[in-house]
Amino acid sequence: MSECIFCNYNKSEIIVENKYTFAILDHFPVNEGHCLIFSMNQRDIT
């Protein structure tokens, strides 16, 4: 299992996805409907 906090999400949470990105609803939204958009490309930033 990956240690990346952005890769460890429940697949059923995805609200929209394409071959480059996917979006999930924020668990702590600032406004109703706030979502987080992630790239499918993972980068090592360490």
Distance (Å, whole) CA 25 – CA 2: 21
Judge if pTM exceeds 0.85.
Answer: no
Structure tokens at 30: 């600032």
Ranges of H-type helices in the chain: none
Q: Give me the pLDDT at residue 1, please.
A: 47
Residue ranges per structural domain of the chain? 1-46
DSSP tally for the chain: helices H, then strands E: 0, 3
The pLDDT profile of the chain, 46 residues, written as one tens digit per residue, is 456 777 777 889 899 999 999 999 998 999 999 999 988 887 666 6
Residue 8's pLDDT is 76
Residue reference for tokens 């958009």: 37
